[in-house]
Amino acid sequence: MKVFRLLVLLAVLVIGLIIGAVNMADMTINLVFTELHTSVGVAMIAALLVGVVVGAGLVLVSVVVPLYAQLRRANKPALATPAVPPVSTFDGR
């Protein structure tokens, strides 16, 4: 599994380098109060990264947090009752 992760990481790195090398044209991103001067490749990779982070945050807020709260509510009664150890019928003979 670690080798697979390493190969995926290497593939993503190579794809990012190719995108950055092919799209070397300068561009200016005009914001309200400032301007950002960068290349097209860097802007594309930054936009993809921002999209991944925003998407992961939305999944976390909309799916993971409610499921975790539901799991806590489901486990609360189980933690309130003390566990009774099973009674053994073995008398040592």
Q: Are 28 and 37 in contact (CB under 8 A)?
A: yes
Q: Which of these, 26, 15, 23, 18, lies nearest to 41 by C-alpha position? A: 23
Q: What are the mean pLDDT values of the chain's consecutive 10-residue runs (93 residues total)?
A: 90 88 90 91 90 94 90 79 68 69
pLDDT given at position 51: 94
Residue 34's identity, in one-letter code, is T
DSSP string, the chain: -HHHHHHHHHHHHHHHHHHHHH---EEEEE-SS-EEEEEHHHHHHHHHHHHHHHHHHHHIIIIIHHHHHHHHHHHHHHHHSPPPPPPP-----
pLDDT given at position 28: 92
pTM as predicted: 0.65
Residue ranges per structural domain of the chain: 1-56
Both tokens of 68, joined, read: 């975790």
